[in-house]
């Protein structure tokens, strides 16, 4: 087929990005991760899982590309042993991580190979797939028929006897395809159906991610969106092969649980996992176990759920369109392709309250990781090859529903308001570097906190998140960061402390600017709106006029403004009030403005919820963070909140019984929510309903070592919590002015 004759559908455009961006290194196959622009390879190694996914998606959605994708997949066949090599250097030599073979990746490759029609692609894919399936059955199946997790490259040594839902589901899918090729009998397929549907799946459709040898869920088991979606697809495939609607009903039950519990009715989209009872929670103990502790939304999971919805209910079902529309919001309209996903920061015990586009402590095999101090992170605004392949497949399944750009939802309960009808406000601008010290000695241990900040400083560089040198677990260390440096300087400014070697700190901050113009968390690190704001504002707090390459920074910040008027974390990322505020403040400091001020104001006004509140995005419920961001951003444009009195009432109602504030009207009190509420009330000319109770609550958050914790009774914290506490206390003591409280956050 002539590729040039194909219509330029949205699905095709995403698939084109995969070839354009992920083959930039000039080697065969596709790299494992690129940055958000698609111009820079982050992880050049090639993985079996990515290439199996690409081949599978192309066979389903882009048959004209499938021959090349299958050839790239079959090149992973191990030249020395049975099975496939799972990780290769760009030269094609097996990577050290390729010395382990996992049932999940091997079976995914088998599914892709057996999905190829021999009449079109010849006999080799089915032959290779069949041989690998035979080898897996001999090597990695236990007495019950379950596939175990991992074996050495030569197949001689079992390395992990875990039983995962993903392996069993892929095994079922592979067996169903093998029956079509005459490589397995229908009796073999029925046995695997019984194993998956009766042992792995509960009557309610719950598919635990890991099970014990006796078949009961493992202690750390979750319901994973991807593995459960593939379970539903595999059951639907088996039902078709067997002509058995009872198997199809099991597929519908699995998908129904995902639909009921993984869909986020607040922000839209499917979470990547939930508890076995369907709750979306954050598990601190899982961080220690190095398991996925924090739910995020990934394009991979959401694409699989589009595909699963079509397999279970048909492509015209409402769930297909709804999931595809959310997946569309993860598309990068600036550079092309889909982002890895989106994340949130959470308040205890586990409520998502705002965008935070990174995942902490991903597994070692995860591509695109950035290592920083004692921690590793995955920036969710970068891009994976399998996400492009799956999203392209999902968009092809969904059809015209995602052809056009999707406008943000209309605000709930809030009529549109012309900018001309918004009241004007006169904000008095001051030089934030000239803020006089605020005497807080009566409400906090000033000296101990200053000592902690001093211990977090690295000479000639900057400040870390904490003063710790080599902490266990997930606690940040003292490695200099833009975030830690900004918050440390802000607290030193308020408390009258001295920044050691301010010229050196300023030089270090400027060194974090990337060639694109944005700033990163450390020199050479990933750059985005958040870290750009922090670096620019920290330089402003130091009182310097040199902000690095100002023109490049302004240009890149402006590029982050979307057609809806708001700003995303990087160009093309979906807008939210958090990054809109940070971008506008940074531009303001650089004596620049957004590309379209009126559109930005309109975006802020459309975020109203009709009761005085503002949501992180248009159409989302109100929270204290967004009221603060909306009020401050509008003030920089010379505008006041049109519903100022209602907003003050809303904020005052968010004060909890302990004295601190909740992020909404029903959640638990937290220090970060308290700071945003106190600052928002201050900017709006109001104050808490019980000011003294707030002060007392804040005091209980200071720890014996001088740091602050996000909730009372916790023994340690980072500069993030300390900033929130000190700035809140300074506002309540009458020591700040509104301009400082707007700019420094």
CB contact at 8 A, 51 and 74: no
Domain span holding position 630 = 442-743
- Residue 693 domain-assigned? yes
Residues whose CB falls within 8 Å of the CB of residue 97, separated by 6 or more in sequence, listed in order: 45, 86, 87, 364, 365
Six-digit token string for 178: 């093998």
Q: Give me the residue label for tokens 């000033």.
A: 446
Residue 376 dihedral angles phi and psi, to the nearest 5°: -125, 150
For position 5, what pLDDT does the model report? Answer: 35
CB contact at 8 A, 711 and 668: yes
How far apart, in Å, do the first and last CA atoms of the chain sit? 56
- Residue 156 domain-assigned? no
Residue 563's CATH number = 1.50.10.20
- Residue 651 domain-assigned? yes
pLDDT in tens, 627-679: 999 999 999 999 999 999 999 999 999 999 999 999 998 888 999 999 999 99
Distances (CA, A) of 424 to 350, 589, 725: 38, 21, 31
Question: Which among 38, 563, 51 is positioned nearest to 338, based on CA atoms?
Answer: 38
For position 284, what pLDDT does the model report? Answer: 52
- Residue 679 domain-assigned? yes
Question: What is the maximum alpha-carbon separation in the chain?
Answer: 82
For position 7, what pLDDT does the model report? Answer: 45
Q: Distance between CA 524 and CA 484 in Å, rounded?
A: 17
CB contact at 8 A, 73 and 57: no
- Residue 166 domain-assigned? no
- Residue 669 domain-assigned? yes
- Residue 259 domain-assigned? no
Q: E strands within 272-348? A: 273-274, 297-298, 341-342, 344-347
CB contact at 8 A, 526 and 379: yes
CB contact at 8 A, 190 and 139: no
CA angle 625, 465, 568 (to 5 degrees): 40
Angle between helices 299-313 and 385-398 in degrees, nearest 10: 30
Q: Give me the residue label for tokens 């409280």.
A: 741
What region, left, alpha or beta, does residue 85 occupy, with left being phi > 0 and alpha being psi -120 to 50 degrees? beta
The alpha carbon of residue 354 and the mean position of all alpha carbons in its chain are separated, in whole angstroms, by 11
Six-digit token string for 492: 């030193």
Tally: H helices and E strands in the chain: 27, 22
Q: Distance between CA 337 and CA 329 in Å, rounded?
A: 11
Query: Which pTM value belongs to this model?
Result: 0.94
For position 476, what pLDDT does the model report? Answer: 86
Q: Distance between CA 617 and CA 626 in Å, rounded?
A: 9
Q: Give me the residue label for tokens 């006897």.
A: 161
CB contact at 8 A, 217 and 276: yes
Residues whose CB falls within 8 Å of the CB of residue 490, separated by 6 or more in sequence, listed in order: 538, 541, 723, 726, 727, 744
Low-confidence ranges of the chain (pLDDT < 50): 1-8, 285-291
Distances (CA, A) of 714 to 346, 453, 661, 704: 16, 19, 17, 10
Q: Tell me the sheet residues that pair with 40.
A: none
For position 287, what pLDDT does the model report? Answer: 41
Angle between helices 48-61 and 63-74 in degrees, nearest 10: 160
What is the domain count for the chain?
1
CB contact at 8 A, 291 and 330: no
- Residue 328 domain-assigned? no
**Computed over its alpha carbons, how large is the radius of gyration of the chain?**
27
pLDDT in tens, 290-321: 345 789 999 999 999 999 999 999 999 999 99
Torsion of CA 630, 632, 638, 640, to 10 degrees: 60
Q: How many CA atoms lie within 13 A of 650 on its CB side?
A: 26
- CB-count burial class (<10 Å; 0-12, 13-18, 19+) for 431: exposed
For position 411, what pLDDT does the model report? Answer: 54
Contacts 24+ apart (CB under 8 A), 196-203: 196/168, 196/169, 196/172, 196/231, 196/234, 196/235, 197/235, 197/247, 197/250, 199/144, 200/165, 200/168, 200/169, 200/231, 201/231, 201/250, 201/253, 201/254, 203/253
């Amino acid at each position: 087929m002539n590729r040039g004759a194909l219509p330029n559908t949205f699905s095709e455009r995403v698939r084109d990005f995969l070839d354009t961006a992920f083959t930039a290194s000039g080697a065969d196959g596709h790299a494992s991760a690129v940055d958000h622009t698609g111009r820079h390879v982050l992880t050049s190694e090639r993985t079996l899982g990515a290439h199996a996914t690409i081949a599978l998606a192309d066979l389903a959605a882009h048959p004209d590309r499938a021959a090349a994708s299958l050839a790239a997949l079959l090149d992973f066949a191990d030249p020395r042993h049975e099975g496939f090599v799972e990780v290769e250097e760009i030269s094609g030599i097996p990577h050290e991580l390729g010395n382990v073979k996992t049932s999940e990746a091997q079976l995914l490759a088998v599914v892709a190979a057996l999905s190829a029609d021999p009449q079109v692609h010849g006999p080799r894919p089915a032959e290779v797939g069949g041989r690998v399936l035979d080898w897996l059955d001999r090597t990695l199946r236990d007495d019950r028929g379950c596939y175990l997790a991992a074996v050495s490259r030569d197949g001689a040594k079992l390395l992990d006897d875990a039983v995962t839902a993903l392996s069993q589901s892929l095994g079922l899918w592979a067996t169903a395809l093998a029956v079509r090729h005459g490589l397995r009998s229908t009796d073999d397929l029925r046995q695997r159906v019984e194993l998956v549907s009766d042992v792995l799946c509960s009557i309610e459709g719950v598919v635990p991610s890991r099970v014990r040898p006796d078949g009961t869920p493992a202690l750390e088991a979750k319901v994973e969106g991807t593995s459960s979606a593939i379970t539903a697809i595999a059951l639907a495939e088996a039902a078709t092969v067997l002509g058995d609607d009872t198997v199809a009903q099991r597929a519908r039950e699995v998908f129904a649980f995902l639909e009921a519990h993984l869909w986020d009715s607040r922000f839209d989209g499917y979470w990547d996992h939930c508890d076995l009872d369907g709750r979306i929670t954050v598990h601190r103990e899982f961080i220690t176990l190095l398991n996925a502790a924090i739910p995020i939304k990934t394009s991979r999971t959401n694409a699989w759920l589009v595909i699963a919805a079509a397999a279970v209910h048909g492509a015209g079902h409402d769930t297909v369109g709804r999931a595809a529309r959310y997946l569309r919001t993860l598309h990068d309209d600036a550079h092309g392709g889909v982002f890895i996903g989106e994340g949130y920061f959470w308040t205890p015990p586990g409520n998502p309250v705002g965008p935070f586009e990174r995942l902490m402590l991903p597994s070692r095999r995860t591509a695109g990781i950035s290592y920083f101090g004692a921690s590793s992170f995955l920036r969710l605004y970068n891009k994976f090859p399998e996400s492009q392949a799956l999203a392209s497949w999902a968009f092809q399944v969904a059809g015209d529903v995602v052809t056009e750009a999707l406008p943000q939802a209309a605000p709930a309960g809030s009529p549109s308001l012309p900018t001309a009808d918004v009241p004007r406000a006169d904000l008095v601008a001051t030089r934030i570097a000239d803020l006089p010290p605020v005497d807080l000695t009566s409400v906090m241990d000033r000296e101990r906190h200053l000592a902690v900040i001093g211990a977090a400083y690295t000479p000639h560089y900057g400040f870390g998140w904490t003063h710790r040198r080599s902490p266990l677990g997930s606690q940040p260390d003292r490695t200099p960061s833009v975030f830690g440096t900004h918050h440390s300087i802000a607290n030193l400014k308020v408390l009258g402390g001295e920044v050691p070697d301010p010229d050196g700190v300023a030089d270090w901050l400027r060194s974090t600017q990337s060639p694109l113009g944005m700033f990163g968390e450390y020199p050479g690190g990933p750059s985005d709106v958040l870290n750009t704001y922090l670096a620019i504002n920290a330089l402003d707090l130091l009182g310097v006029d040199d902000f690095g390459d100002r023109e490049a920074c302004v240009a890149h910040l402006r590029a982050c403004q979307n057609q809806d008027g708001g700003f995303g974390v990087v160009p093309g990322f979906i807008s939210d009030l958090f990054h809109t505020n940070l971008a506008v403040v940074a531009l303001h400091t650089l004596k620049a403005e957004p590309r379209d001020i009126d559109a930005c104001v309109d975006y802020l006004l459309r975020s109203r919820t009709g009761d005085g509140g503002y949501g992180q995005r248009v159409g989302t419920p109100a929270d204290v963070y967004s009221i603060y961001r909306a009020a401050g951003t509008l003030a920089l444009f010379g505008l006041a909140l049109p519903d100022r009195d209602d907003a003050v009432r809303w904020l005052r109602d968010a004060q909890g019984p302990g004295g601190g504030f909740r992020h909404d009207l029903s959640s638990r009190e937290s220090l970060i929510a308290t700071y945003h509420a106190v600052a928002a009330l201050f900017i709006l000319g109001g104050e808490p309903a019980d000011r003294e109770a707030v002060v007392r609550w804040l005091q209980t958050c200071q720890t014996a070592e001088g740091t602050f914790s996000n909730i009372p009774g916790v023994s340690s914290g980072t500069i993030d919590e300390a900033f929130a506490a000190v700035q809140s206390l300074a506002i309540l003591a009458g020591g700040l002015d509104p301009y400082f409280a707007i700019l420094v956050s």
